């Protein structure tokens, strides 16, 4: 039994599944149905991946954080983020079944207590609906998929809190792992943007395509000119570029000759966010930049931020006078003063007006009906059927219905209001919203306390990464765009990885093996002494 490791079990399961399914897969493939083969192959690759990583398989969770797509060839079309959490759960479950150490934990009470309040309301709605809401599992309604995603996202906290054997060095690699994951969505998104007709074919396998551009191409055939082309993955890549620079190359060293490239790299990250065409990407990146700089140099960050502001204002003041920047970039920066293209500015202004209509309709008709506990995620399946023809018939439906809110009503009915405060009130009501605000405040308190209690010269990459992601996620939810499912699956892993770092640091500081009398007398310790002997792990020296 001692030689029966989790990795060997995974390899055995892969082999067994292949031989059992081989006849059926052969028959299906010969009949032209390749999806079962792709499904089995994808699962096998995932298991082999876990087999190779072994005790480091938790790393697939931060790797998948910036990957938004779903694997549509799977029966339940899991997203890669969900699959990462499920995979780690299966790994820990196997360890438990075979008597290996896990030590299940809930994580810090500061996080799970308010989150438990939100989840209680969500689970109440799922149970009271009387329908699982997932068609593959026999559900008749719609919306159950989001209940599932909320619970899976929350599961990331106890999983990463319980994962045995996390090492200090591995935690410092998390920002780099996150950076590498940001490249995954670029290829399908770019291809489907440049050639929208490829979107349905890519969609059969992976959902990370530019559906907006595909829909615009259809809409353009009937309604004339299409909108501004935007590529959201460029914004995610730009954020990752800025973060990886901030994490491993402290701003305090940027004026050294060997580090003069760092500031331009951070500005390039901001440029990518602007080129993506999304205003919220630009604002989120600014918040990430401030949080990361604060972690490294504290309030001296205020001396660096004017450089970024000058670069942005330089673009806005030269637009239309010296240069004509790409329309997507103009749309993203149109909230600033400048001579912007009417199409780019008009589309951005229309988006703002659309959001205001959403707020007006919600508080006028929906919130007053269910103010305490909200309505949950379930909705009428007929809405989804009607929504399939949105690009071809939306204009006619608006005209026929005589409803001034027709273009925003379906988003509320389908539980996709875009506005964070509306979303949390719609789904969980005032009770769930109160717990959610408590949870968000806990995230900020926890992350900034970790940073403030560490000397800037001893700050670690994982701390910079965590605070630079949590601040824009929390503020962005309330002021830019908010969806509980996307929010939780982003912040839960980030917060709990920071918690594991703090636990390792605390344990090391109380372990006499890491301390020496001379070092104790010379300076206060913030990290284990042996780790200070390897500074390249954290901040590469000059």
Is the residue at 24 inside a domain?
A: yes
Looking at residue 321, its pLDDT comes to 81
Higher-confidence residue of 418 and 442: namely 442
Is the residue at 139 inside a domain?
A: yes
Q: What tokens does 30 get?
A: 């010969």
Residues β-bridged to residue 142 = 379
- Would you say 292 and 472 are in contact if contact means Cβ atoms under 8 Å apart? no
Q: Provide the residue range defining the domain that includes 86.
A: 6-188
Looking at residue 518, its pLDDT comes to 42
Is the residue at 388 inside a domain?
A: no
Residues β-bridged to residue 379 = 142
Residues β-bridged to residue 206 = 71
Q: What percent of the chain has pLDDT over 70?
A: 74
- Would you say 243 and 270 are in contact if contact means Cβ atoms under 8 Å apart? no
pLDDT, tens only, 128-157: 877 665 655 545 556 778 888 899 999 999
Looking at residue 283, its pLDDT comes to 92
Is the residue at 84 inside a domain?
A: yes
Whether residue 436 has pLDDT greater than 60: yes
Closest C-alpha among 184, 208, 219 to residue 60: 184
Residue 80 and residue 65: Cα distance in Å, rounded?
9
Is the residue at 532 inside a domain?
A: no
- Span 501-519, mean pLDDT? 66
- Segment (H or E) for 332: helix 327-333
pLDDT, tens only, 385-420: 555 444 345 545 554 555 677 778 878 888 888 889
As for how many domains the chain has, the answer is 1
Whether residue 18 has pLDDT greater than 70: no
Is the residue at 182 inside a domain?
A: yes
Is the residue at 237 inside a domain?
A: no
Is the residue at 363 inside a domain?
A: no
């Amino acid at each position: 039994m001692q030689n029966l490791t989790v990795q060997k079990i995974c390899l055995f399961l892969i082999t067994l599944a292949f031989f059992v399914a081989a006849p059926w897969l052969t028959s299906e493939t010969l009949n032209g149905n390749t999806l079962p083969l792709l499904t089995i192959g994808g699962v096998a690759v995932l298991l082999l991946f876990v087999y190779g990583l072994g005790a480091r398989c938790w790393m697939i969770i931060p790797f998948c954080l910036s990957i938004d797509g779903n694997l549509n060839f799977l029966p339940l079309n899991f997203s890669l983020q969900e699959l990462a959490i499920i995979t780690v759960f299966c790994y820990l479950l196997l360890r438990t079944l075979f008597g290996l150490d896990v030590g299940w934990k809930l994580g810090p009470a500061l996080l799970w207590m308010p989150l438990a309040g939100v989840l209680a309301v969500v689970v109440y709605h799922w149970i009271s609906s009387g329908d699982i809401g997932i068609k593959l599992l026999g559900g008749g309604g719609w919306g159950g998929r989001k209940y599932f995603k909320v619970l899976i996202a929350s599961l990331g906290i106890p999983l990463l809190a319980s994962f045995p054997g996390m090492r200090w060095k591995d935690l410092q690699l998390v920002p780099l792992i996150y950076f590498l994951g940001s490249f995954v969505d670029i290829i399908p998104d770019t291809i489907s943007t440049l050639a929208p007709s490829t979107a349905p074919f890519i969609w059969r396998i992976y959902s990370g395509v530019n559906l907006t551009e595909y829909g615009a191409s259809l809409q353009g055939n009937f309604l004339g000119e299409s909108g501004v082309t935007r590529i959201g993955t460029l914004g995610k890549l730009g954020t990752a570029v800025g973060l990886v620079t901030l994490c491993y190359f402290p701003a305090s060293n940027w004026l050294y000759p060997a580090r003069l490239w760092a500031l331009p790299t951070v500005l390039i990250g901001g440029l990518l966010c602007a080129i993506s065409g999304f205003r919220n990407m630009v604002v989120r990146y600014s918040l990430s930049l401030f949080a990361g700089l604060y972690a490294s140099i504290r309030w001296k960050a205020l001396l660096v931020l004017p450089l970024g502001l000058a670069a942005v204002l330089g673009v806005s003041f030269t637009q239309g006078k010296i240069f004509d920047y790409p329309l997507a970039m103009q749309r993203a920066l149109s909230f600033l003063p400048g001579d912007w293209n009417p199409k780019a500015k008009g589309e951005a202004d229309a988006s703002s007006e659309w959001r205001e209509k959403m707020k007006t309709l919600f508080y006028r008709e929906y919130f007053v009906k269910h103010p305490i506990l909200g309505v949950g995620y379930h909705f009428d399946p007929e809405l989804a059927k009607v929504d399939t023809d949105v690009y071809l018939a939306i204009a006619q439906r608006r005209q026929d219905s005589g409803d001034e809110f027709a273009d925003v009503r379906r988003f509320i009915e389908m539980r996709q209001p875009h506005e964070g405060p509306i979303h949390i009130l719609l789904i969980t009501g005032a009770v769930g919203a109160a717990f959610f605000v408590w949870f968000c405040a806990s995230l900020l308190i926890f992350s900034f306390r970790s940073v403030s209690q560490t000397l800037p010269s001893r700050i670690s990459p994982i701390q910079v990464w965590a605070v630079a992601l949590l601040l824009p996620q929390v503020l962005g939810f309330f002021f830019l765009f908010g969806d509980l499912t996307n929010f939780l699956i982003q912040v839960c892993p980030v917060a709990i990885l920071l918690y594991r770092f703090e636990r390792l640091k605390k344990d090391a500081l109380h372990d006499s093996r890491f301390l020496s009398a001379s070092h104790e007398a010379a300076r206060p310790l913030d990290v284990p002494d042996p780790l200070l002997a390897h500074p390249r792990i954290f901040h590469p020296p000059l």
